[in-house]
Amino acid sequence: MTLLTRMRGALALAAVIAAGSATVADAAAVAPTTPCVRYIPGVPSLGLTAAGWAPGAALSFKVAGRSVGSGTADASGAFATPALALFSPPPPKGNVQSVKLTATDGAGTTASHTIKLVRLTVDVPARAGVRQRVSYRAFGFLPGKRLYLFIRRNGKTKGRFVLGRPKGACGRLTKTLPYMPLKRWSAGSYEYLYLHSRKYRAKQVIYGYDLKISRG
């Protein structure tokens, strides 16, 4: 399968999910603004807060041992990523992974917090019989908001299917459908596009890929 770049929809999704709030502790602490951080290639999605640091302390942040950014504590010893300057987390191993978020200052003080990373994706088999029923496993979508699959070809929608409502902080669901759900189809390439909107709008596509269907 060839992944399509759906930056606008993915960026909007990341901004909505990263708009939460974290609990601030008295001692040096760091925490994400959402309990499950979406990994979206090329889209900054990690918001965090830090508190209990020395005023003006230079802070560096890592996720799973990899540097993701830096910041400066304010006069109260706190820091928060600006809404338009989120950090980019590293990709998780698999689709969901628990990792350490750490903050360190110039004096060597370190604070950490365990977070979950989820890859924004929909897993389906690379190959299957056209009418074979397979699992569509979605990760990283908005919890509780209905998810739709649109199948399009030559700029036209051929079918729309309700997958359900993702659950949990990491926005997961599994739906069983035929590999090619359309009742009428012909051999060729189709776009499989995933939206939270029941009406197709190109700017609201969150994730998608091309799938080549053959009769052989």
d(CA 96, CA 85) in angstroms, rounded, equals 24
Structure-token pair, residue 15: 């901004």
Please measure the distance between the N-terminal and C-terminal CA atoms of the chain and give it in whole angstroms: 18
Contact 92, 140 (CB under 8 A): no
d(CA 170, CA 166) in angstroms, rounded, equals 8
Give Cβ neighbours of residue 29 (< 8 Å, ≥ 6 apart).
50, 51, 52, 103, 111, 113
Domains along the sequence of the chain with CATH: 22-118 (2.60.40.2550), 120-213 (2.60.40)
The pLDDT of residue 166 = 98
Per-residue pLDDT of the chain (216 residues; tens, 9 = 90+): 444 445 455 555 555 554 443 333 359 999 999 999 999 999 999 999 999 999 999 999 999 999 999 999 999 999 999 988 999 999 999 999 999 999 999 999 999 999 999 999 999 998 889 999 999 999 999 999 999 999 999 999 999 999 999 999 999 999 999 999 999 999 999 999 999 999 999 999 999 999 988 876
Q: What is the pTM of this model?
A: 0.84
The pLDDT of residue 24 = 37
